[in-house]
Amino acid sequence: MKTLLYILLIAFVLALAGIVPGQSGGRTLQSLIEAERAFSRLSEEKGIKEAFLTYLADDSIVFRPKPVPGKKAYEAVPDDSPVLLTWEPAYAEIALDGDLGYTTGPYQVRDKSKPGDSARFGHYVSLWQKQPGGLWKVVLDVGIRHPQPGFRPMEVMTRKETGRPKRLIKVDKFGELNNLLQVEANFSAKAAAEGVLAAYIAFAHDDIRFYRDGSLPETGIEAVRQATSESPGKSTWEPMDGDVSRWGTLGFIFGTVATRSSGATDAAAASTSYLRIWRKTPDGQWKIALDLAVPIPPE
């Protein structure tokens, strides 16, 4: 009885936050979730090399920790790699046109050659794009590490649509990506002028998902407020590439960040790889849905 009450309480809290079971997203969303689950099963059964080479798009990107071509990275993995990587989607979201989406959830890594060693844990984010033949393929894969296992999801959650953009038409993807890059530039300018927190408050959704290496993911502006208050210094974002959905309702940008403390030289800047997933509001504004960063070790 206590377990049932706990599940009902969690469901009620998620509903208040606009998070609902993924089944409400329709067949396209469910097909994305099933593709992610099949991806993990193949990794467990056949190994990471076969799994990633099967599900990565030809032009995919993975973070190592810098953004690098995904297929090339996994072609270099030994066929007999002892790495056992499994994961499970906990949250999924797709664009209104159904051609771009992402899933995220906990992952676990073990070394099969060292059965006595402890597992390593983290959370992944996979961006998926529907291919001309209708199959989902991963266009970007990244993860953060943290010392504890994430909660095993009882079901995949997604965001309840509270409104639709006024106009839903096929966009010029190149032009819309340039618009999104300009929004990225405006975010950077706001951060430089008024601080990083002010930029997030201005450009993020209230339910922003915030991922930083070493910690479990957090949700909401208050989580961002606490995280950024502990990160003094000025950051400069350098976008590398990205993409948007056909109707321009969901998009992403990835690149690198240089963060310098006051008075530090360029050589002393801390480097980070970042991913931002942007969701368009009903009134046509791009807002940050997910923000992830992983540190790049000094060379």
CATH architecture for residues 173-296: Roll (3.10)
If you average pLDDT over every residue of the chain, what do you get? 87
Fold of 18-159: Nuclear Transport Factor 2; Chain: A, (3.10.450)
Residue whose C-alpha is closest to residue 20's, from 140, 130, 156, 182: 156
Predicted local confidence at residue 20, as pLDDT: 43
Torsion, Cα 195 293 223 183, to 10 degrees, reads: 50
pLDDT in tens, 135-175: 999 999 999 999 988 777 778 998 876 566 666 678 899 99
pTM > 0.85: yes or no: yes
Residue-range domain boundaries for the chain: 18-159, 173-296
pLDDT in tens, 173-223: 999 999 999 999 999 999 999 989 999 999 999 999 999 999 999 999 999
Same fold for the pair 18-159 and 173-296: yes
